[in-house]
Amino acid sequence: METLLLVINIILAVILVLLVLLQKSEGGALGIGVSQENFMLSRSAGSFMTKATAIIATLFIICSLALTIISRAELTPTGSVLDTVEEKTEDTPSIPENN
């Protein structure tokens, strides 16, 4: 199950990156790529791309959370680290006494 979710998560990540890169920038970009005859077409395409990006991003977050929940169950500690550490007094340096 974890492997399947991991593959789906990688596919969603690639699709999300491609969707973001295919969108037109709305930040002006010195007026490049925006003309009056293309205005209505780019708006409807932008709306579709924005909705698709939001849906894929939501699926990616849900899949990532599911992976975290599944892998967290496998990482439950069985004991404390301090239980396995033995104190070694012979390796500890001694504190010098005042003369």
Domain boundaries in the chain? Answer: 1-21+41-73
Give pLDDT tens digits for 10-67: 999 999 999 999 887 765 544 445 454 454 455 565 688 889 999 999 999 999 999 9
Q: What pLDDT, on the 0 to 100 scale, is given for residue 7?
A: 95
pLDDT for 89 beyond 60: no
The per-residue pLDDT for 90 is: 59
| pLDDT score, position 71 | 84
Check: CB of residue 34 under 8 Å from CB of residue 42: yes
In terms of C-beta distances under 8 Å and separation of at least 24 residues, what long-range contacts does 81-89 make, across chains too? none
pLDDT digits (tens, 9 = 90+) for 57-75: 999 999 999 999 888 877 7
Counted residue by residue, the chain has a size of: 99
Over residues 81-93, the mean pLDDT reads 61
Query: Using CA atoms, how far apart are residues 49 and 59, in angstroms rounded to an integer?
Result: 15
pTM of the model: 0.59
Pair 67, 6: CB distance under 8 Å: yes
60: Cβ contacts below 8 Å, ≥ 6 apart: 9, 12, 13, 16
